[in-house]
Amino acid sequence: MSLEGRVIVVTGAARGLGRAFAQACRDSGAKSVVVADIDAARGEATAQELRATGGNVVFLRYDQGDPASIESFARALAEKFGHIDGLVNNAAIATGIGGKLHDEIDIETWDRVMAVNVRGVWLVVRALAPLLRKSKLGGRVVNLASDTALWGAPRLLHYVASKGAVISMTRSLARELGPDGIAVNAVAPGLVIGESTEYVPRERHELYVKGRAMQREQTPEDVAGPVLYLLGAGANFVTGQVIPVNGGFVFN
């Protein structure tokens, strides 16, 4: 689980799951951790907080919905590090969009979710792949999917569809980047307790807890372990896989 000597980029890392991933990478000995987010104030604050307790943690702002911003982000990483060893593709639109049936979702919201959650994930991989190819430890990409795409959660069609696309892209990218020694995998968390899920109705939280083999609420730390595994040497020959991390709500 050690990430010693590795440069790891975590997108959407200003808060929630992304912040937990960045902290876990720092705690696991990563040489450098990049907190990447659209929210400059919160992103810089997160980086400062993590640096205060040790480690080289830096913040870089980018907008996953803006292709030009992603390209600028990649150039900044190249100038600062020359290469990266791992990318955690966590950034996504997830908050405040649920609760509507398929015929209640407006086209503008659908397009915005797809632009960030699908196109953005692809563009980040495309922009950062040259830096991953330069890794001497073996490049790693961990995409954040969702178990909603595995069980077909209702009243969330745009998000579910976007995460289903992430799963499919993970498998295709694994074949395209495999010859370069880059592993591409995904984790599919269940409903995680945090700021981004405070809007989710209590009934949905209870559905998850009661439906899990391990009947408790899920925390960001529950997801960090599998992410660390996929970023490290223990997953050298693991690629194209989707790991549900939800306490047994769905089995893959």
| 17, 190 contact by CB (below 8 A) | no
Average pLDDT over residues 60-67: 98
Task: Supply the pTM of this predicted model.
Answer: 0.96
Average pLDDT, the chain: 96
Instruction: Return the structure tokens found at 224.
Output: 């960090």
List the end-to-end C-alpha distance of the chain, in Å, as a whole number: 23
pLDDT at 252 exceeding the cut of 80? no
Summarize pLDDT for 168-204 with one digit per residue, the tens: 999 999 999 999 999 999 999 999 987 767 667 788 8
Question: Could you tell me if residue 190 is inside a domain?
Answer: yes
Q: In what helix (H) or strand (E) does residue 172 lie, and over which residues does it extend?
A: helix 157-177
Enumerate the active-site residues: 159
Share of the chain above pLDDT 70, in %: 99
The tens digit of pLDDT for each residue in 64-95 reads 999 999 999 999 999 999 999 999 999 999 98
The verdict on residue 153 lying in a domain is yes
How far is Cα 219 from Cα 123, in angstroms, rounded to an integer? 29
In a domain, 198, yes or no: yes
pLDDT at 200 (0 to 100): 75
- Residue 244: partners with Cβ closer than 8 Å, 6 or more residues away: 147, 150, 187, 188, 190, 250, 251, 252
CATH of the domain at 55: 3.40.50.720
Domain count, the chain: 1
10-24 average pLDDT score: 97
Residue 229 falls inside a structural domain: yes
Assigned token pair, 203? 């009934």
Structure confidence at residue 228 as a pLDDT band (50, 70, 90): very high
Q: According to the model, what pLDDT value does residue 203 have?
A: 86
For residue 1, tell me if it sits in a domain: no
Over residues 155-171, the pLDDT tens digits come to 999 999 999 999 999 99
Q: Is residue 250 part of a domain?
A: no
**pLDDT for res 100:** 94
Residue 205 burial class via C-beta count within 10 angstroms: exposed 0-12, middle 13-18, buried 19 and up: middle
2 in a structural domain: no
Instruction: Give domain status of residue 131, yes or no.
Output: yes
**pLDDT of res. 193:** 85
CA nearest to 221, candidates 5, 10, 25, 37: 25
Q: What is the C-alpha separation between 16 and 121, in angstroms, rounded?
A: 18
> What was the pLDDT predicted at 194?
78
Whether residue 15 contacts residue 46, with contact meaning beta carbons closer than 8 Å, is answered with yes
Which residue range forms the structural domain that includes residue 125?
7-245
